[in-house]
Structure 1
Amino acid sequence: MHLFFLCLILGVSVAVPPQEKRVHHQRDLSDHAHDDVHGFQYDHEAFLGKEEAKTFDQLTPEESKARLGKIVDRIDMNKDGYVSHDELHHWIKHRQRRYIEENVDKHWKDYDQNKDGKIAWIEYKNTTYGSYLDDSSNDLDNKESYQRMLRRDQRRFEAADKDGDGIATREEFTAFLHPEEFDYMKNMVVQETMEDIDKNGDGKISLEEYIGDMYSPEAGEGEPEWVTTERKHFQDARDMNKDGFLDASEVALWILPGDVDHADNEARHLIHETDKDNDDKMTKKEILENWNMFVGSQATNYGEDLTKKHDEL
């Protein structure tokens, strides 16, 4: 969901802008449904982070439990033998933040061309778009598409650049790549979402535009049940003033619900399911007895993770 991935063309570091992408929802802890009846994938990704959750199938249950035990020792920061809500909440927040930091790290060296520890707009522009706008081999539609993306990137860069000096610090560049994580970027997130879904440009999102953004029916295909559910959700929950459209304020409530702390909710959920003696904290034994909820058979880059120092986690 976040910005552009670089490509190398004939050995020259120039990025080809892909299709415009957006909707910057406030990130949940997992893209999976939180439904423990049908599996614990949501809990795995919440506890371990999305990227780490991809390689756990390589581990046996014995390896899983052994490595989980070492993770638990790290979560227990005060070394009292228990994992409290605060400690688990901190851990889950950290795992999610680490995903963002690693994503920024991945792009930083490509964009910071003069290696001064900052990224100027011109550095980002040249690295991302290079000579594509001037390339005579590109057709008019491509050039116009690139121009739209360039204007959109520049607008977002300027919004992220708090002091307006045209140069992004690491924090400002993080806000540029991940605007949904920063309060001062919320208006930009809503504006981009509106522009992407509002196909007729009337400044509001109709039910047809809302559904069309997520579903394109095949010829002769009946509408899936989830689409019918989304229609009802639009009418009953998203369209607050019942005028048949979503305006900017309603879109903001949809994609950036400010009062939701997913990490806090997940910490409470894991403790509720694991804390057998109801003392509102977990022992290592309780966690290991319920290991499949935390790591199951799919989930972390533990081998790499456990070689890192505690202060890196």
Structure 2
Amino acid sequence: MRNSQSIMMLLKSLASLCVLAAVAFAVPAQEKRIHHHADLSDHAHDDAHSFQYDHEAFLGKEEAKTFDQLTPEESKDRLAKIVDRIDTDKDGYISHAELHYWIKHRQRRYIEENVNKHWKDYDKNQDGKIGWEEYKNTTYGFYLDEEFDDVEDKATYKSMLMRDERRFKTADRDGDGIATREEFTAFLHPEEFDYMKDVVVLETVEDIDKNGDGKVNLDEYIGDMYTPENGESEPDWVQTEKKHFSDFRDANKDGYLDAGEVAHWILPGEVDHADNEAKHLIHETDTDKDGQLTLIEILNKMDYIKTSTITDYGAMRVDDHDEL
């Protein structure tokens, strides 16, 4: 039996669509809503404020946390082991191709570990599949028996259940009510699967569309990313976003974003963010500008790398069992 607070946290975790987490400074809407394949980091990619995005891209999310707790010597030793893993041809240099492959590997590893963690919770009969009833009863359990009467926000819980069921049925491609591991991966990480994109768009519209008309108007678009405090002057980027809405987002100029326009906004096509991050990290770390990295260059940028996605993506651990 769960209390309402713990189940709410679980539901939010499972239902999240990899939206970038808000940070201490204001982040424009496209940074929070655009869906990238397997986010490299929970942080905004903004070097003017923080290198935390790059930290987590290079190290991996969990490993980045570990690095923050190590002594300088321990950090150097662990980083050297990571560099050796990335340098697959063992020539002493990390090329763009090797770095790109490593970051993509971290992305896949993160998704696999996330699915494995949840799989154990939901495959109650250990048959290698997860039925909708297994998922529903494990997630909502006691509250289903009470028809959510004991929950303070009954409507919210019913909405969560409806959205979970809709997403589960969409992920369940053969319609048998049972998710294979691949189908359950599509349920947890819909942004990774083309056939789940309509659900990603629909859930995004539902989140932003406050008046329930199935479209997103300018006030809803701005309200999704910015709520003014009393007496606070509007940031400059809000005006920029209003212009983006009218000039670019609202393609048919009817004053609203429909599902197609929202899809064009949040699903920007086949952008290889791992490739972009590899290029970015080489640019920031390659002091002799030969287009590749050495261990010395990386160690010289220790503070930068310790705030990068390469070292921590997907609970990355450097041990004898962590093979590429």
Instruction: Give distance in 1, aligned partners of 2:237 and 2:64.
Output: 26
Q: Secondary structure of the equivalent of 1:82? A: coil
Q: Secondary structure of the equivalent of 1:113? A: coil
Unaligned 5+ residue runs, structure 1?
A: 1-6, 10-14
* 2:80 matches 1:69: yes
Per chain length, whose mean CA-contact separation is higher, i.e. which structure has more relative contact order (CA < 8 Å, sep 6+)? 2
Partner in structure 2 of residue 55 of structure 1: 66
Unaligned 5+ residue runs, structure 2?
A: 19-33
Instruction: Give distance in 1, aligned partners of 2:266 and 2:177.
Output: 28
Q: 1:172 aligned to 169, 173, 183, which one? A: 183
Q: Secondary structure of the equivalent of 1:81? A: coil
Task: List per-residue Cα deviations over 1:116-165 (Å, max 9, x = no partner).
Answer: 11101110011111131331782687444333222211111111112222
Partner in structure 2 of residue 96 of structure 1: 107
Aligned partners of 1:162 and 1:172 also within 8 Å: yes
- Per-residue deviation at 1:113? 0.7
Indicate how the Cα distance of structure 1 residues 229 and 237 shifts in structure 2: closer, same or farther if over 3 A, else same: same
Q: Secondary structure of the equivalent of 1:282? A: coil
Query: What's the % identity of the aligned pairs?
Result: 68
Q: Which amino acid aligns with 2:233?
A: G
Partner in structure 1 of residue 22 of structure 2: none
Partner in structure 1 of residue 301 of structure 2: 290
* 2:239 matches 1:231: no
* 2:223 matches 1:243: no
Instruction: Give distance in 1, aligned partners of 2:234 and 2:139.
Output: 39
Aligned partners of 2:51 and 2:308 also within 8 Å: no
- Per-residue deviation at 1:210? 1.1
More off after superposition, 220-229 vs 188-197: 220-229
Q: Secondary structure of the equivalent of 2:144? A: coil
* 2:29 matches 1:29: no
Q: Which amino acid aligns with 1:306?
A: V
Q: Secondary structure of the equivalent of 1:51? A: helix
* 2:318 matches 1:306: yes
Q: Secondary structure of the equivalent of 2:142? A: coil
Indicate how the Cα distance of structure 1 residues 140 and 40 shifts in structure 2: closer, same or farther if over 3 A, else same: closer
More off after superposition, 216-225 vs 250-259: 216-225
Q: CA RMSD in A?
A: 3.0
- Per-residue deviation at 1:214? 2.6
Aligned partners of 2:54 and 2:308 also within 8 Å: no
Indicate how the Cα distance of structure 1 residues 144 and 276 shifts in structure 2: closer, same or farther if over 3 A, else same: closer
Aligned partners of 1:211 and 1:230 also within 8 Å: yes
Within 5 Å, give how 1:175-186 maps onto structure 2. 175-186=186-197
Instruction: Give distance in 1, aligned partners of 2:219 and 2:53.
Output: 30
* 2:208 matches 1:197: yes
Instruction: Give distance in 1, aligned partners of 2:212 and 2:16.
Output: 17
Indicate how the Cα distance of structure 1 residues 258 and 82 shifts in structure 2: closer, same or farther if over 3 A, else same: same
Q: Secondary structure of the equivalent of 1:16? A: helix
**TM-score when normalising by structure 2:** 0.81
Instruction: Give distance in 2, aligned partners of 1:100 and 1:163.
Output: 22
Within 5 Å, give how 1:127-142 maps onto structure 2. 127-135=138-146, 138=149, 142=153
* 2:117 matches 1:106: yes
Task: List per-residue Cα deviations over 1:12-37 (Å, max 9, x = no partner).
Answer: xxx73457665554234234343435
Partner in structure 2 of residue 151 of structure 1: 162
Indicate how the Cα distance of structure 1 residues 35 and 304 shifts in structure 2: closer, same or farther if over 3 A, else same: closer
More off after superposition, 283-292 vs 63-72: 283-292
Q: Which amino acid aligns with 1:234?
A: F
Q: Secondary structure of the equivalent of 1:307? A: coil
Q: Which amino acid aligns with 2:7?
A: V
Instruction: Give distance in 1, aligned partners of 2:256 and 2:168.
Output: 30
More off after superposition, 38-47 vs 227-236: 227-236
Partner in structure 1 of residue 128 of structure 2: 117
